[in-house]
Structure 1
Amino acid sequence: MSFAELNTPKRTIMTPGPVEVDPRVLRALSTPILGQFDPAFTEIMNEVMEMLRQVFQTKNHWAFPIDGTSRAGNEAVLSSLIEPGDKVLVPIYGRFGHLLVEICERYGADVHTIDCPWGEVFDSEVVIVEMKKVSPKIVAIVHGETSTGRMQPLEQIGKACRAQDVLLVVDAVASIGGVEVKTDDWCIDAVVGGTQKCLSVPSGMAPISYNERVEKIILSRKKVERGIATEDDNRYMRSSLPIASNYFDLGMLQDYWSPRRLNHHTEATSMVYALREGLRLVLEEGLDERFARHKFHEQALISGIEAMGLKLFGDPDNKLTCVTCVEIPPGVDGEAVRSMLLQEFGIEIASSFGPLHGKIWRIGTMGYSCRKENILSVLGALEACLIRQGAKVNRGEALQAALDIYESKEVS
Structure 2
Amino acid sequence: MFGQIDPPQRLLMGPGPVNVHPRVLRAMTADMLGQFDPEMTGYMNQTMALYRQVFMTENRWTFLVDGTARAGIEAALVSLVEPGARLLILRAGRFGLLLSEIAQRIGAEIRTIDIPWGEVAPPEQIEAAIIEHRPQVFATIHGDTSTTMAQPLDGVGAICRRHGVLSYVDATATLGGMAVATDAWGVDVVTGGLQKCMGGPPGSAPITISDRAAAHIMARRHVEAGIRGADAQDGSRTRIGSNYFDLAMIMEYWSEKRLNHHTEATSMLYAAREAARIMVEEGLEARFARHRAASEAMAAGLRAMGLTLYGQDAYRMANVTGVFIPDGVDGERARTRMREEFEIEIGTAFGPLAGRIWRIGAMGYNAMKHKVLITLGALEAVLAAEGHALPRGAGVDAARASYEAMPGAAS
TM-score (norm 1): 0.96
Distance 1:399 1:240 in 2: 58
Give the secondary structure class of the aligned counterpart of 1:277: helix
**Which deviates the most, 272-281 or 259-268?**
259-268
Deviation, structure 1 residue 120: 1.1
SS at match of 2:36: coil
Kept in 1: contact 2:83–2:237 (CA 8 A)? no
Q: Which residue pairs with 1:320 in the alignment?
A: 317
Q: Contact 2:199–2:275 at 8 Å: present in 1 too?
A: yes
Equivalent residue, structure 2, for 1:311: 308
CA contact (8 A) 2:84 2:237 kept: no
8 Å contact 1:29–1:271 — kept in the other structure?
yes
CA contact (8 A) 2:155 2:186 kept: no
Q: Deviations over 1:300-327 (max 9, x none)?
A: 1111111100000011111111110000
Name the residue aligned to 1:134: 133
Aligned residue in 2 for 1:7: 6
> Once the 2 structures are TM-superposed, how far is the Cα of residue 63 of structure 1 from its aligned partner?
0.6
For residue 360 of structure 1, the aligned residue among 357, 371, 381 is: 357
Any idea what SS the aligned residue of 2:160 has?
helix
Aligned amino acid, residue 182 of structure 1: A
With over 3 angstroms needed to count, the CA separation of the structure-2 counterparts of 1:148 and 1:240, relative to structure 1, is closer
Specify the SS of the correspondent of 1:63.
Answer: strand
In structure 2, the partner of 1:235 is none
Corresponding residue number in structure 2 for 1:294: 291
CA distance in 2: counterparts of 1:120 and 1:95, whole angstroms:
13
C-alpha separation in 2, matches of 1:280 and 1:168: 28
Summarize the alignment of residues 111-122 of structure 1 with structure 2, pairs less than 5 Å apart. 111-122=110-121
Would the aligned equivalents of 2:156 and 2:187 in 1 still touch at CA under 8 Å?
no
Percent identity (aligned): 50
In the alignment, the residues of structure 2 paired with residue 161 and residue 336 of structure 1 have an alpha-carbon distance, to the nearest angstrom, of 46
Structure 1 match to 2:381:
384
The answer as to whether partners of 1:224 and 1:240 remain within 8 angstroms in 2 is no
Pairwise CA distance, 1:119: 1.1
Quote the Cα distance in structure 2 between the aligned partners of 1:285 and 1:62: 24
**Counterpart among 338, 346, 358 of residue 349 in structure 1:** 346
Deviation at 1:228, TM superposition (A): 8.0
Give 1:180's aligned amino acid: A
- The alpha carbon displacement at 1:239 in A equals 8.7
Partner of 1:215: 214
Give the partner amino acid of 2:301: G
Counterparts of 2:410 and 2:215 in 1: how far apart (Å)?
45
Q: CA deviation at 1:184?
A: 0.8
Deviations 1:132-156 (A, max 9, x none): 0000001000000100000001112
1:264 to 261, 269, 278: 261
Structure 1 partner of 2:178: 179
Q: CA deviation at 1:159?
A: 1.3
1:240 positional shift: 5.2
SS of the residue 1:43 aligns to: helix
C-alpha distance in structure 1 between counterparts of 2:202 and 2:237, whole Å: 35
Identify the match of residue 329 of structure 1 among 326, 330, 339.
326
SS of 1:223 mapped into structure 2:
helix
CA offsets per residue over residues 20-54 of structure 1, 9 Å max, x none?
A: 10000000010111111110011000000011111
The 3-state SS of whatever aligns with 2:238 is: coil
Equivalent residue number for residue 109 of structure 1? 108
Structure 2 residues not aligned, in runs of 5+: 229-234
What is the CA distance between 1:83 and its match in structure 2? 1.2
Amino acid at match of 1:33: M
CA RMSD of aligned residues (A): 1.3
Determine whether 1:85 maps to 2:88. no
Separation of aligned partners in 1, 2:283 and 2:123:
29
- After superposition, residues 29-40 of structure 1 pair within 5 angstroms as 29-40=28-39
Stretch moving more, 137-146 or 122-131: 122-131
User: Following the alignment from structure 2 to structure 1, what is the Cα–Cα distance between the partners of residues 90 and 159?
Assistant: 15
Q: Which residue of 2 aligns with 1:232?
A: none
Counterpart residue identity of residue 110, structure 2: V
- Structure 1 regions of 5+ residues with no counterpart? 230-237
- 1:167 and 2:166 matched: yes
**2:250 aligned to which of 250, 253, 258:** 253
Q: Is the 8 A contact 1:224 1:239 kept in 2?
A: no
Partner of 1:285: 282
Displacement after TM superposition at 1:212 (Å): 1.2
Partner of 2:150: 151
Q: Distance in 1 between matches of 2:339 and 2:240?
A: 44
Q: C-alpha displacement at 1:395, in angstroms? A: 1.4
TM superposition shift of 1:108: 0.9
- Asked if the contact 2:331–2:355 (Cα under 8 Å) also holds between the matched residues in 1, the reply is yes
Corresponding residue of 2:394: 397
Matches of 1:124 and 1:365, distance apart in 2: 29
TM-score by length of structure 2 reads 0.96
Q: Which amino acid aligns with 1:377?
A: I
SS in 2 for 1:185: helix
Question: SS at 2:79's partner residue?
Answer: helix
Distance in 2 between residues matched to 1:87 and 1:362, nearest whole Å: 34
Q: Secondary structure at the match of 2:111?
A: strand
How far apart are the structure 2 equivalents of 1:312 and 1:174?
A: 19
* CA distance in 2 between partners of 1:339 and 1:178 (Å): 28
Q: Do residues 199 (structure 1) and 216 (structure 2) align?
A: no
